[in-house]
Chains A and B, each alone.
Chain A
Amino acid sequence: MMRAFSALLARDLKLAARVGGSGALSLVFFLMIVVLVPFALGPDLNLLSRIGPAILWLSAVLATLIGLDRLFQSDEEDGSLDLMTGAAVPLEVVVLAKVLASWLTTGLPLALASPLFGLLVALSPKAMAATALTLALGTPALSFIGAVGAALTATIRRGGLILAIIVLPLMIPTLIFGVSAAEAALGGTVPFTTPLTVLAALSLIAAVVGTLAAAAALRWSE
């Protein structure tokens, strides 16, 4: 089972590196939103640093949606998905490997790049660290929730719009707890760990529910 899992993971990482595509695109999209917001709001550094974590989180949620529609669709189009349903492992393992690869190429780079982008919205070093940590813990939830929508829309040619409509409402709890954890680190009545543990729990729940739901959606696609 591990052999099939690592083969899938290695293949998707290799494809992401060779085709370029969604990973780099979502990072650029993330950068674009973060760069544009200070221009729209004006040069009020206090305001920017106060809403900075929220801007970064909002950009991360939107950037995750980029390229999400291709997660299963590209495999559905060229018949690789038929190969995967005949694999010696359950479809859930296939989904887990593919979502993990997708998170490593979109979610993790967003979290790692966020301190740099935090400079653009005048975050203090402490806020940068807190935002990066919450993004690292929260983006797996976004990837797994997105996988359910991607599996449901795998056979629809222009599924990107309907995918966004399906998954965005489900991403709201992650957004709320991500931003509140980042803001709790900067002071306030709630201790930092409370929203952070809720955020980690959301990621774990999404990993289980998302994997099962996406696999069921792929089986049921015909």
Chain B
Amino acid sequence: MRLIVENLACRRSGRRIFSRLSFSLGPGEAMMITGRNGAGKSSLLTLLSGRLKPDAGTIRAEGIGEATLPERLHVVGHRDGLKSALTASENLEFARDLLGHPAASPKAALEALGLPHVARLPVGYLSAGQRRRVALARLLVCRRPLWLLDEPTAALDLASQGVLAAMMGRHRAEGGLVVAATHQALGLEDASELRIEPPPPEEAVTAEEWA
């Protein structure tokens, strides 16, 4: 698939976060989103995932047939989407049945992340890094071409960061796309970088415009 973003602008609670963002990603390409805290990295990922409406501009995807873009992407963000009372493999089985296009089995996905021993443990017992790895294992249980990762290395140890880099490499070799918001090098080779700059100061908003 190909992801095309044109002239994207984002506004939250009336405040302009960024504007005039344009980029396009083809099969096997990766992009790192960088910028200061509060620049709108997570907002951009939320826009791409379809949970937020853009203020202006368009987000298109080519080559996904009749599916919509939210049905063809994976999101791993700060909120990991795991239920504390369910075990790691129950969480992954649920994600596989909900999202469709099953790929690896939950057991195999947990093994790939180095967590075979937690499969039967409730996720609530796991550490922050282990939870993050269970959330990343979701990327392997369903096949979806676009991965949106928000600070994927947060709470991960060095070995797991290497595993994640290898996962992203394999995904790109199979024609997948990766968009990651990050402050660190992720081991993404020849990834393009999109730096979100603060928007130009807005002309003073008058009361008439708000009315």
- B-binding residues in A (CB < 8 A): 3-4, 6-8, 11, 14-15, 18-19, 77-80, 82-89, 222
Cβ of B100: which chain A residues have Cβ within 8 Å of it?
A: 3-4, 87-88
Cross-chain contact B79 with A84 (CB below 8 angstroms):
no
Show 28 A/B contacts (Cβ-Cβ < 8 Å), sorted by A: A7-B98, A8-B94, A11-B83, A11-B90, A15-B83, A15-B85, A18-B85, A78-B80, A79-B79, A80-B81, A80-B82, A80-B83, A82-B51, A82-B75, A82-B79, A85-B49, A85-B51, A85-B70, A86-B70, A86-B71, A87-B98, A87-B99, A87-B100, A88-B98, A88-B99, A89-B98, A222-B46, A222-B52
Check B79–A77 contact: CB distance below 8 A.
yes
Residue picked from A6, A11, A88, A89, most chain B C-beta under 10 Å = A88
Residue of A nearest to B85 (CB): A18
Query: CB within 8 A of A79: which of B70, B80, B101?
Result: B80
Residues of chain B with a CB closer than 8 A to A78's CB:
79-84
Q: Specify the chain A residue showing the minimal Cβ separation from B76.
A: A79
CB <8 Å contact, A11 and B86: yes
Which chain A residue shows the least CB distance to B79? Answer: A79
**B12 and chain A: residue at smallest CB distance:** A222
B95 pairs with A14, CB closer than 8 A: no
- Check B81–A222 contact: CB distance below 8 A: no
Q: Mark B61-79, 1 if CB is under 8 A from A, else 0.
A: 0000000001101110111
Bound: A185/B148 CA distance, A? 59
Whether the Cβ atoms of A11 and B94 lie closer than 8 Å is yes
Say yes or no: A19 contacts B98, CB within 8 Å: no
Which residues of chain B in 92-109 are interfacial with respect to chain A, using CB atoms and an 8 Å cutoff?
93-95, 97-101
- Residue in A3, A19, A79, A85 with the greatest tally of chain B CB atoms within 10 Å: A79
Is B2 an interface residue, CB under 8 A from the partner? Answer: no
Determine whether the beta carbon of A83 is less than 8 Å from that of B52.
Answer: no
Chain A residues touching B, majority SS: helix
* B50 interface hit (Cβ, 8 Å): yes
B1 to chain A, nearest CB (A): 15
Write the nearest CB–CB distance from A60 to chain B, whole angstroms: 27
Which B residue's beta carbon lies closest to that of A7? B97
CB-CB under 8 A for A82 and B49, given A11-B94, A14-B86, A15-B86: yes
Binding site for A on B (CB under 8 A): 46, 49-53, 70-71, 73-75, 77-86, 90, 93-95, 97-101
Q: Which residues of A contact B74 (CB under 8 A)?
A: 86
Which residue of A14, A18, A77, A82 has the most chain B CB atoms within 10 A of its CB atom?
Answer: A82
Given A78-B80, A88-B71, also A83-B53 (CB < 8 A)? no
**Shortest Cβ distance from A14 into B: residue:** B86
A84 cross-chain contacts in B, Cβ below 8 A: 98
B residues near A83, Cβ cutoff 8 Å = 75, 81, 95, 98-99
Residue of B nearest to A16 (CB): B85
Taken together as a complex, chains A and B put the C-alpha atoms of A8 and B98 apart, in Å, by 7
A86 and B75 within 8 A (CB): yes
Q: What are the residues of chain B within 8 A of A4 when measuring CB–CB?
A: 97-98, 100
B99 touches A14 (CB 8 A): no
When distances are taken between beta carbons in the complex, the residues of chain A under 8 Å from B98 are 4, 7-8, 83-84, 87-89
Interchain CA distance A87-B84 in the complex, whole Å? 20
Specify which of B53, B82, B85, B101 is in contact with A19 (CB 8 Å cutoff): B85
Contacting residues, chain B, for A89 (C-beta < 8 A): 98
- The chain B residue with its CB closest to the CB of A76 is B79
> With a CB–CB cut-off of 8 A, which chain B residues contact A18?
85-86
Given A7-B93, A15-B83, A82-B51, 15 more pairs with CB closer than 8 A:
A3-B100, A4-B97, A4-B98, A14-B86, A18-B85, A82-B77, A82-B79, A82-B81, A85-B49, A85-B70, A86-B70, A86-B75, A87-B71, A222-B51, A222-B52
